[in-house]
């Protein structure tokens, strides 16, 4: 069983063959009362389902695909729980394993389903989607001219994937604009989850795009490369538009920057189902100031890293509020040729014990990539975990903070490429990390 932390809700509707529910004979139950055993109610619902299935088999206008109907029912049940639980048929299960290995075919998108359309959580670095300018929050409404509405997420994902070198056209709807078409060429996605470089002033910049099976290995290579130039003056960890990935990799990444102590804890359904992940005593670049960059596309595993380094006061978090996915999904195999289920099995908590579910990580210093007026701020609708259908609410009943004017934003006439990164580098060069964080807290 593998734990996943990703903003992507993978849908799967094809898989287990239909069994003869229509032939099942459940004992007749008495009229429902408040004292009826819940299991009796469940049996009654199963009997109702069997009757409906039998009537559809017999009376629907054309013969139904029984296997597809049954699997749609299974998946519908799981997806009614929360946006991240679903059924994976054997093909989907294999596809998920390939995806977490860091190499697969497609466009390079982290997506979910909302209002019948595919909604982009984040494009992956260096992929066709990113190079075409697809943005977090974009809706994909049609593929090759065929409307998506009415399809499952899994259907849409399968259509977007295909042989490398083949062309695909997607219709994109962006807030405040009209739909437009984007032509893309599919590629084998060999995503390098970690990239790094040295910035002027002896500051190491590390971009972590996702948390797959190779992330920690590539991070170690990045740290070795930075270390060869001597002790850096500062480190920037860029987690913007990182939609998440494997829990184990998030813990390993965080471990490099902490000397022991808690990284994250998970709490399942029962009070005894508590697991704490701790760092080892082997911090790299100890005492070197760090800044973590986040935005609304930073979800799940990236929020664990940012939250741990923030709570442990190892790094200053800069940017905008993260996505707010504070739950853990376990992939549970169902046996040979039966696929698996992807089931939400726990919440996770940062070292201080806070749940960021439906809230997100609030940065220590809020810095926007573009300049905003107060009027423009009021028109902005932050898209987050809380907006997904059937999203799990924060257990403390908290709601995400209302939009506010940023602490820093680009000056008028700004022509640079990345104001958030520029601000982080400026703070590190001036050695104001701790002072800036304390000032932000006081404000």
Q: pLDDT tens across 157-167, in order?
A: 888 888 888 89
Q: Which residues, other chains included, contact 343 with Cβ-Cβ below 8 Å and sequence gap of 6+?
A: 78, 85, 329, 330, 332
Indicate whether 232 and 185 sit together in one domain: no
Q: What is the pLDDT of residues 223-245, one digit of tens each?
A: 999 999 899 999 999 999 899 98
Q: Which of 141, 169, 189 is the last residue of a domain?
A: 189
Q: What is the pLDDT of residues 45-68, one digit of tens each?
A: 999 999 999 999 999 999 999 988
Indicate whether 185 and 200 sit together in one domain: no
Does residue 93 sit within a domain? no
Q: Is the pLDDT of residue 18 over 70?
A: no
Q: Decide the pairing of beta strands 180-185 and 167-173.
A: antiparallel
The residue among 380, 428, 427, 434 whose CA lies nearest residue 404 is 380
Percentage of residues in the chain having pLDDT higher than 70: 86
**Mean predicted confidence (pLDDT) in 137-157:** 87
CA distance 105 to 164: 7
Does residue 92 sit within a domain? no
Q: Decide the pairing of beta strands 86-88 and 187-190.
A: unpaired
Does residue 26 sit within a domain? no
Q: Which of 149, 172, 189 is the last residue of a domain?
A: 189
Which residues, listed in sequence order, are joined to residue 113 by a DSSP beta bridge? Answer: 118
Indicate whether 278 and 413 sit together in one domain: yes
Give the pLDDT confidence score for residue 29 in this predicted structure.
43
Q: What CATH number has the domain bearing residue 339?
A: 3.90.226.10
Q: Is the pLDDT of residue 26 over 80?
A: no
- Cβ burial, residue 47 (10 Å; 0-12/13-18/19+): middle
Q: Highest mean pLDDT range out of 32-46, 152-166, 360-374?
A: 360-374
Does residue 55 sit within a domain? no
Dihedral over alpha carbons 307, 312, 314, 318 (to 10 degrees) = 30
Give the pLDDT confidence score for residue 24 in this predicted structure.
33
CA distance 394 to 112: 20
Does residue 176 sit within a domain? yes
Task: Tell me the pLDDT band of 123, cut-offs 50, 70 and 90.
Answer: confident
List the catalytic residues. 300, 311, 325
Q: Which of 189, 219, 234 is the last residue of a domain?
A: 189
- 317 — alpha (psi -120 to 50), left (phi > 0) or beta? beta
Q: Is the pLDDT of residue 20 over 90?
A: no
Indicate whether 139 and 260 sit together in one domain: no
For the full predicted model, state whether its pTM sits above 0.95.
no
DSSP class of residue 281?
Answer: B
- Structural domain harbouring 212: 192-442
Indicate whether 118 and 133 sit together in one domain: yes
The residue among 54, 34, 32, 53 whose CA lies nearest residue 43 is 32
Q: What is the pLDDT of residues 58-103, one digit of tens each?
A: 999 999 999 889 988 998 999 999 999 999 888 888 877 766 665 5
In the block, tokens 């990935």 appear at 245
Indicate whether 362 and 435 sit together in one domain: yes
Would the CA dihedral through 417, 421, 424, 430 be positive or negative? negative
Structurally, the chain folds into a number of domains equal to: 2
Task: Tell me the pLDDT band of 428, cut-offs 50, 70 and 90.
Answer: very high
Q: Decide the pairing of beta strands 316-319 and 365-366.
A: parallel
DSSP class of residue 386?
Answer: G
Does residue 171 sit within a domain? yes
Q: Is the pLDDT of residue 379 over 50?
A: yes
Indicate whether 198 and 175 sit together in one domain: no
Indicate whether 166 and 196 sit together in one domain: no
Does residue 202 sit within a domain? yes
Q: Is the pLDDT of residue 316 over 50?
A: yes
Q: What CATH number has the domain bearing residue 127?
A: 2.30.42.10
Does residue 10 sit within a domain? no
Indicate whether 318 and 266 sit together in one domain: yes
CA distance 303 to 340: 26
Cβ–Cβ < 8 Å for 324, 393: no
Percentage of residues in the chain having pLDDT higher than 90: 57
**Mean predicted confidence (pLDDT) in 132-154:** 88
Q: Is the pLDDT of residue 274 over 60?
A: yes
CA distance 347 to 328: 6
Q: Is the pLDDT of residue 276 over 50?
A: yes
Indicate whether 231 and 176 sit together in one domain: no
Indicate whether 275 and 171 sit together in one domain: no
Cβ–Cβ < 8 Å for 252, 301: no
**Mean predicted confidence (pLDDT) in 307-329:** 96
Indicate whether 175 and 207 sit together in one domain: no
pLDDT, the chain, mean: 85
The encoded tokens of residue 234 equal: 């500062």
Number of H helices, E strands in the chain: 11, 21
Task: Tell me the pLDDT band of 342, cut-offs 50, 70 and 90.
Answer: very high
């Amino acid at each position: 069983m593998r734990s996943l932390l990703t903003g992507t809700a993978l849908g799967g509707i094809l898989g287990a063959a239909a069994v003869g529910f229509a032939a099942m004979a459940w004992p007749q139950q008495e009229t429902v009362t408040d004292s009826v055993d819940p299991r009796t109610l469940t049996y009654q619902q199963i009997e109702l389902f069997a009757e409906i299935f039998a009537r559809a088999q017999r009376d629907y206008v054309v013969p139904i695909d029984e296997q597809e109907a049954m699997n749609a029912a299974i998946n519908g049940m799981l997806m009614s729980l929360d946006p991240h639980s679903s059924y994976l048929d054997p093909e989907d299960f294999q596809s998920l394993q390939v995806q977490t290995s860091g190499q697969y075919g497609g466009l390079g998108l982290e997506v979910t389903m909302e209002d019948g359309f595919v909604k982009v959580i984040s494009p992956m670095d260096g992929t066709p989607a990113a190079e075409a300018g697809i943005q977090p929050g974009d809706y994909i409404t049609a593929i090759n001219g065929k409307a998506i509405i009415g399809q499952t997420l899994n259907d849409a994902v399968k259509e977007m994937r295909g042989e490398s070198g083949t062309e695909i056209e997607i219709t994109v709807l962006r807030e405040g604009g009209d739909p437009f078409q984007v032509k893309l060429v599919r590629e084998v996605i060999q995503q390098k989850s970690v990239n790094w470089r040295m910035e002027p002033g002896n500051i190491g910049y590390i971009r972590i795009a996702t948390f797959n099976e190779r992330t920690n290995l590539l991070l170690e290579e990045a740290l070795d490369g930075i270390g060869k130039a001597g002790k850096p003056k500062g480190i920037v960890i860029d987690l913007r538009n990182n939609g998440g990935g494997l829990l184990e990799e998030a813990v390993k990444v965080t471990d490099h920057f902490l000397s022991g102590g808690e990284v994250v804890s998970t709490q399942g359904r029962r009070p005894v189902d508590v697991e704490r992940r701790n760092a080892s005593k082997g911090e790299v670049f100890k005492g070197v100031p760090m800044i973590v960059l986040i935005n609304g596309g930073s979800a799940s595993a990236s929020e664990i890293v940012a939250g741990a380094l923030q709570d442990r006061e190892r790094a200053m978090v800069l940017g905008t509020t993260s996505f707010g996915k504070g739950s853990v999904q376990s992939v549970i195999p169902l046996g040979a040729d039966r696929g698996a289920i992807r089931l939400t099995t726990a919440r996770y908590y940062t070292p201080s014990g806070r749940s960021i579910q439906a809230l997100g990580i609030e940065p220590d210093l809020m810095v926007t990539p573009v300049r905003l007026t107060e009027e423009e701020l009021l028109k902005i609708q932050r898209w987050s975990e809380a907006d997904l259908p059937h999203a799990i609410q924060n257990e403390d009943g908290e709601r995400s903070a209302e939009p506010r004017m940023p602490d820093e934003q680009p000056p008028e006439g700004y022509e640079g490429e990345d104001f958030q990164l520029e601000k982080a580098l400026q703070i590190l060069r001036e050695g104001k990390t701790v002072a800036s964080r304390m000032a932000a807290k006081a404000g």
